[in-house]
Chains A and B, each alone.
Chain A
C-alpha cells in the first residue's frame, strides 16, 4: 500500500490564482481530512469527509472547497489564493468511526506571493 499520497509537494502561487491539492489513499478508508499547519499553531481542520459524496466544514474552511466523488480521492480546491493561505497542507484518512488512528500524507508546502 502507498498509504496517503499528496501532490504536489511544493507550489508557489500568485495572489488570485487557483489550484487543486490532490490527495489519494489506497487503504479503503471511509474518513478523509484536510488540515493546514502554520508555524507554532499545530494543525487546524479545514474540511473532512465521512464517505463518498459527503463533506463538511472544519474549523477554518473559508477560501477552500472540497469534493469526494470516490472513496480514494479527496481534492482540496483554492479558488482565489491569498497570502494568508501560505501554509503546509496535510491530508489524512481514517478507516471508520471504530478506529481512531488517522494516517497522514507527506504534505504540500504552499506559498502565496
Chain B
C-alpha cells in the first residue's frame, strides 16, 4: 500500500536559518505529491505540489522537487521566518490505488518552530 514517511519533529530554528524537512514515499503507481501546512488552530492549506518526476513545486519561498529515483519530496526554504511556525504534512495522491478514489495519504506531520 501507499505510505509517506516524514522526518520526526519537532524542529526548532532561528529566524533566517535554512530549513529542510525530509519526506519519502511508497506508492503503487505514479503519485502526485503535496506539502500541506497547518497553522495553529486552523485547517490544512496546500503549500505546494508536484505531479510528475523532476517537477519542482514552489510557494512562499518554499520548494520541493519530485525525485522518483529516491522516492523523495523534501521541503526546503532558504530563510525561515517566525510566521513559518506551523505543522507541515507531506502527502501523496495515487491514481492507481484502485478503489481509494484518489484519497490523500499523509505523513505524521512535522512541527516547525521558528524563534526570533
Residues of A within 8 A of B (CB): 4, 31, 33, 40-43, 45, 48, 50, 56, 58, 90, 92, 94, 97, 100-107
Q: Is B101 a contact partner of A48 (Cβ separation < 8 A)? A: yes
Given A40-B109, A106-B42, A58-B103 contact (CB < 8 Å) = yes
The interface centre, meaning the residue of B4, B43, B109 with most chain A CB atoms within 10 A of its CB, is: B43
Assess the B106–A43 pair: CB atoms within 8 A: yes
Q: Is there a chain A Cβ closer than 8 Å to B34's Cβ?
A: yes
Report the interface size for chain B: residues with CB under 8 A from the other chain. Answer: 23
CA distance A97 to B42 in the complex (A): 26
Count of A-B contacts with CB under 8 A? 54
> Which chain B positions have C-beta within 8 A of A56?
99, 101
Binary per-residue interface labels of chain B (19-47) against chain A in the complex, 1 for a CB within 8 Å, 0 otherwise: 00000000000001010100000111110
Question: What DSSP secondary structure best describes chain A's contact surface?
Answer: strand
- Expressed in whole angstroms, the minimum distance between the Cβ of B64 and any Cβ of chain A is 15
CB–CB B49/A90 < 8 A = no
CB-CB < 8 A to A100: which residues of B? 32, 34, 49, 51, 93, 102
Q: How far is the CB of B33 from chain A (nearest CB, A)?
A: 9
Residues on the B chain within 8 Å of A106, using CB:
42-43
